[in-house]
């Protein structure tokens, strides 16, 4: 993968070292040795940039894995939440049906009891009724 930072670093090093190369030639120093030194420095800097990029790429990979894990966790949590809501709804429906059945049973028992009491009261002669017949 080509990185523009490498070329920027290379350009900056050449720009910085260019006066040294020019002065070195004027002073009679060996231009080849200067070029080799410059080449070595550039190679060292590029190597450091590559190591830094590798670390950044590793870090990016780790962040991506974490992001994927979080997305998977959110999906699983959403499924779990839906399952819980469905189970809760089912239990509430069951409880509602049982409650309505009991309420209906109580109403039937109360109505039956009231009916029994009314018919019992109707069959009993009233106190006033007995007084008038005697």
Backbone angles phi, psi at 29, to 5 degrees: -70, 160
Q: What is the pLDDT of residue 132?
A: 54
Residue 102 has pLDDT above 60, yes or no: yes
- The yes-or-no verdict on residue 18 having pLDDT over 70 is no
Place of tokens 């030194």: 37
pLDDT higher at 13 or 105: 105
Cα–Cα distance, 127 to 134 (Å, whole number): 11
Is a pLDDT exceeding 50 seen at residue 121? yes
The domains of the chain are located at: 4-92
105 C-beta neighbours (distance < 10 Å), count: 10
Residue 28: what pLDDT?
A: 46
Please report the pLDDT score of residue 90 as a whole number: 93
Question: Phi then psi for 84, rounded to 5 degrees?
Answer: -65, -45
3-class SS of residue 28: coil
- Between 23 and 28, where is the model more confident? 23
Least confident of 3-12, 69-78, 113-122: 3-12
pLDDT tens string 52-101: 878 888 888 888 999 999 999 999 999 999 999 999 999 999 999 999 99
Residue 9 in contact with residue 41, Cβ under 8 Å? no
Torsion of CA 102, 107, 109, 113, to 10 degrees: 160
pTM score, whole prediction: 0.41
What is the predicted pLDDT for the residue at 99? 93
Give the Cβ contact number of residue 35 at 10 Å.
13
C-alpha count within 13 angstroms, C-beta hemisphere, residue 38: 21
């Amino acid at each position: 993968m080509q990185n523009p930072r490498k070329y920027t670093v290379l350009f900056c090093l050449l720009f910085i070292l260019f006066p040294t190369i020019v002065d070195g030639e004027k002073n009679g120093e060996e231009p080849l040795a200067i070029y080799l030194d410059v080449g070595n420095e550039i190679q060292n800097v590029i190597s450091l940039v590559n190591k830094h990029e590798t670390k950044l790429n590793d870090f990016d990979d780790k962040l991506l894995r974490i992001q994927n894990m979080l997305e998977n966790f959110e999906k699983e949590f959403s499924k779990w939440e839906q399952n819980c809501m469905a189970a809760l709804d089912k239990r509430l429906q069951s409880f509602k049906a049982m409650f309505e059945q009991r309420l209906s049973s109580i109403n039937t028992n109360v109505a039956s009891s009231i009916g029994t009491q009314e018919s019992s009261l109707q069959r009993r002669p009233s106190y006033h009724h007995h007084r008038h017949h005697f």
